[in-house]
Chains A and B, each alone.
Chain A
Amino acid sequence: MIDFNQTVEINKVYPGTFGGAVFTALILGDKKSISFRASNKILTKIPNTGEYWHVKGQYIITADYGQVIIVNSATLRPLPSSALVGRLLIKHPAFRGFFLGKKKVSKLISEIGEFSLVHLLNNNNYVAIGDCIAEVIAKQLCIRWNKLKEETEVATFFAEYGFDSILAAKIYKICKFNTVQRLKNNPYSLISLANINLKTLTQIDKAAFLLGIPRDDPRRMAGIIEYILYKKLDQGHTVCALEDVKFELKQLKLPEIPAPEECVIQALKSKSTCTLEKENQVYLQSIGAAYIEQSVAFQLNSMLSTPSPSKLSQIV
């Protein structure tokens, strides 16, 4: 079997009933369309016409469809070149339905230029684009462009560092702007979204190291403490004794873990963790669990302080 490993432009998509899809795509600079078949386990999302995907797979020959590539991995990629912006705007379904057609796209390209148009779109500068086309359309174009850009950047980041696509979907639900830049600044924030297991933590730690975050960085120390507390939370413990946290920290199979005391201090400083003192014992608690517990306690107290109907009758 011949291997395939290239970036392609999606041409037509036939989504499967249970996820996955069959799609045709063009290799960049080639006019010949190729058929691809991808299962739901491979695709993080159904591709759209006009998008660019990096596909790895193998050629097979089928009786009905001839040469088809069975996809082993597929990741959404950003626009390979500014020169292709026109094709993307004309083909992608995200840019349909708000009076932006071929004529307006070619007007934008002829008046602004491909490179500058991409720059303006990335900067969400619909005011400048509004000089060429109606501002309402320019604004809508910028909104949709940035949404797509965000999605593409997140997908690329997650593919680059080998994270689970489900994690990408989770973060995309919460963060809508500048996500990748902020993730690069603190990849340990993914701990609160990811499945709590050592494999994920190791992956996050590896990505952080590749991104230039040192082993003794306060973000790393706070992240590790958060991981331990979330692990305990998954086991049903909303608080964890300080000694237990230190013990867990020593058991972790991560490279160059700083001193437990320092990690706890950094976690407290980052306000991701708080302390609870009871019966001469110091406990650590994640801020989320603490907030929920405090809210529940407050509600219970207010309910208890309200006279019950039986008492009311006595008062009356």
Chain B
Amino acid sequence: MKLSPVEKGRINLIEYTKYVDNLRSNGKKFPINQFGDANLSQIASACGFKRQVFGKKTRMGKQLEKDIQEIGTEIDNPKLDTISSSNRLDEYSKRLNILTKELNVLKAENLSLKKQLMTLENVQMLSDEKEASFEHMLQTGRRFVL
């Protein structure tokens, strides 16, 4: 017996509602795919229909979006993720230490260069003074040294 689209839609909704209720009652979340999004194919097969039923503009699609926001999606392989996160944290911490050391070295270098610049500026002033003094000597024949 061939079902009408309206009948099919009603059955799909019932199956989907059952699936969502099951998730809620067991404290489970929607499965995810390799990209971290809700796995539509898996949900659809669990409900006994095709993934196209969850089209974006369809009623079922909108309902799914609402339910995902409410129930959430599960984290794939949580144990592994925790391990990788802690490793990543260690790596970041090490990197941060290295960068902090480098920054301190550069700061010290910068300060010493600024001091050198100040000294050179004083040398420049002395050189300007010598030049002015020499100019005075050429004009007057009198040597001025302070």
Give me the interface of A with B, judged by CB distance under 8 Å.
124, 126-127, 173-177, 179, 182-183, 186, 189, 192-193, 226, 230, 233, 238, 272, 286-289, 291-292
**CB-based contact A288/B118 at 8 Å:** no
Q: Which of A174, A186, A230 has the most CB of B within 10 A?
A: A174
**CB-based contact B144/A189 at 8 Å:** yes
What are 14 A-to-B residue pairs whose CB atoms are below 8 Å?
A173-B132, A174-B129, A174-B132, A174-B146, A175-B129, A189-B145, A192-B140, A192-B144, A193-B142, A230-B142, A233-B141, A286-B143, A288-B137, A292-B138
Nearest 10 Cβ contacts at the A-B interface: A192-B142, A288-B137, A288-B143, A174-B132, A288-B141, A192-B144, A289-B141, A182-B146, A287-B143, A127-B114
**CB-based contact B118/A124 at 8 Å:** yes
CB distance from B127 to the nearest CB of A (A): 11
Cα–Cα, bound, A287→B144 (Å): 10
Contacts A233-B141, A286-B143 given; does A174 touch B114 at CB 8 Å = no
Cα–Cα, bound, A186→B143 (Å): 14
Among candidates A175, A177, A272, residue contacting B143 with C-beta atoms closer than 8 Å: A272
CB distance from A175 to the nearest CB of B (A): 6
Is the CB of B37 closer than 8 A to any CB of chain A? Answer: no
**CB-based contact A174/B133 at 8 Å:** yes
Give me the interface of B with A, judged by CB distance under 8 Å.
111, 114-115, 118, 122, 125-126, 128-129, 132-133, 136-138, 140-146
**CB-based contact A291/B128 at 8 Å:** no
**CB-based contact B137/A179 at 8 Å:** no
Contacts A127-B111, A127-B114 given; does A176 touch B143 at CB 8 Å = no
Cα–Cα, bound, A291→B139 (Å): 12
**CB-based contact A176/B125 at 8 Å:** yes
Q: List the A residue with the shortest CB-CB distance to B111.
A: A127
Cα–Cα, bound, A124→B129 (Å): 18
Contacts A127-B111, A174-B132 given; does A179 touch B140 at CB 8 Å = no
Among candidates B118, B122, B138, B144, residue contacting A174 with C-beta atoms closer than 8 Å: B144
**CB-based contact A189/B118 at 8 Å:** no
**CB-based contact B136/A174 at 8 Å:** yes
- When distances are taken between beta carbons in the complex, the residues of chain A under 8 Å from B143 are 192, 272, 286-288
CB distance from A204 to the nearest CB of B (A): 14
List 5 additional A-B contacts (Cβ < 8 Å) besides A173-B132, A176-B125, A189-B144: A174-B144, A177-B122, A186-B146, A230-B142, A233-B142
Cα–Cα, bound, A241→B122 (Å): 41
- When distances are taken between beta carbons in the complex, the residues of chain B under 8 Å from A291 are 137
- When distances are taken between beta carbons in the complex, the residues of chain B under 8 Å from A124 are 118
**CB-based contact B141/A179 at 8 Å:** no
Q: List the A residue with the shortest CB-CB distance to B142.
A: A192
